């Protein structure tokens, strides 16, 4: 039956194939998405050789990133292709969210598909983020780098998934949370780093605990000042941990977020400097 359908947009074709081929049964757990956006993302990347020639980046070795997060980067053929891919991918996210009877809520860290949007019963289903950058043009000669990220529940119970999503950047509904407009979310095409945001400071990840208890461990901190299109990563060794904070002797500064940057590019900086920050601000990088 599928061969009778003809679409010009590859995202529409992908979505129809996905819905027909992956429909769930009545035994699906209520806290899991009926249609997986991660599966749909991987199909999106397989649609042409340009996307397939990319690489998985920011691989998480610690929970919850290791369980729920997928990040990927590829080199577009042109600026127009990158722009088209961003629009197509965001449209695919909306269609998948609609199929799951969800609503896209655009937050600063990502766009989150949620049940019961803007109510106390709101629950995350998945998140989507995609951006492109003209930086590192010497490594991507024909067009910008395109980077995308998906966060989605795999098989965890509702409470465990909700806590993990918050660690990975989801902000639960409250009158104080900050949302961005739909147009702002779809217009993000500058370099954007992988969010390193924990909305509940008292919640630590396995990575935070590892850093806090391992003096001498090589760690990094990414800082992107508001309004900046780039930001920098600071790298050093853990010297001291106290009261939930970690003091690091930083010895290197790199261009961009090294978790997704296509190359390590040092910038001029001090030979050594101490940086003191909350344990959950750091990530293992060596």
pLDDT score, position 103: 96
Distance of CA 86 to the CA centre of its chain: 14
Which tokens hold the place of 45?
Answer: 């990347």
Which tokens hold the place of 99?
Answer: 């199929």
* Calpha distance 44→87 (Å, rounded): 12
Tell me if 14 sits within 8 A of 88, measured CB to CB. Answer: no
- The full DSSP string for 27-63 is T--TTS-SS-HHHHHHHHHTSSHHHHT-EEES---ST
**Is residue 219 over pLDDT 50?**
yes
Between 98 and 229, name the one with better pLDDT. Answer: 98
- Reported as a single tens digit per residue, the pLDDT across 161-204 is 999 999 999 999 998 898 987 765 654 444 344 444 444 445 67
Distance of CA 4 to the CA centre of its chain: 36
pLDDT score, position 184: 59
**Is residue 250 over pLDDT 50?**
yes
Share of residues in the chain with pLDDT > 70 (%): 82
Which tokens hold the place of 245?
Answer: 């904070």
Q: Looking at residues 259-270, what average pLDDT do you find?
A: 91
To which H or E segment does residue 162 belong?
helix 158-167
**Is residue 9 over pLDDT 80?**
no
Please enumerate, as own/partner, the contacts of 48-56 that have beta carbons within 8 Å and a separation of 24 or more: 50/74, 50/75, 50/76, 50/77, 50/81, 51/85, 54/146
* Calpha distance 180→278 (Å, rounded): 26
Q: Can you give the residue ranges of every domain in the chain? A: 7-186, 206-284
**Is residue 20 over pLDDT 80?**
no
């Amino acid at each position: 039956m599928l061969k009778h359908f003809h679409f010009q947009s590859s995202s529409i074709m992908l979505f129809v194939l996905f819905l027909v081929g992956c429909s769930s049964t009545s035994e699906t757990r209520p806290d899991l998405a009926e249609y997986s956006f991660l599966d749909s993302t991987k199909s999106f990347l397989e649609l042409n050789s340009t996307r397939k020639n990319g690489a998985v980046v920011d691989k998480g070795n610690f929970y919850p990133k290791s369980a729920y997060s997928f990040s990927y980067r590829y080199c577009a053929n042109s600026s127009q292709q990158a722009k088209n891919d961003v629009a197509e991918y965001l449209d695919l996210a909306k269609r998948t969210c609609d199929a799951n009877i969800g609503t896209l809520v655009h937050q600063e860290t990502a766009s989150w598909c949620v049940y019961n949007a803007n109510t106390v019963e709101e629950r995350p289903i998945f998140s989507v983020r995609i951006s492109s950058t003209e930086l590192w043009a010497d490594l991507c000669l024909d067009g910008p780098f395109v980077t995308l990220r998906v966060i989605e529940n795999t098989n965890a119970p509702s409470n465990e998934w909700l806590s993990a999503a918050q660690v990975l950047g989801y902000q639960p509904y409250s009158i104080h949370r900050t949302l961005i407009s739909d147009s702002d979310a779809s217009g993000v095409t500058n370099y954007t780093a992988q969010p390193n945001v924990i909305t509940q400071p008292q919640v630590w990840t396995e990575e935070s605990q590892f850093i806090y208890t391992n003096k001498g461990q090589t760690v990094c901190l990414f800082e992107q000042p508001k309004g900046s299109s780039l930001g920098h990563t600071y790298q050093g060794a853990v010297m001291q941990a106290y009261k939930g904070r970690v003091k690091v002797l930083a010895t290197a500064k790199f261009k961009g977020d090294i978790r997704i940057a296509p190359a390590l590019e040092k910038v001029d900086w001090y030979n050594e400097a101490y940086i003191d920050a909350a344990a959950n601000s750091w990530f293992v990088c060596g």
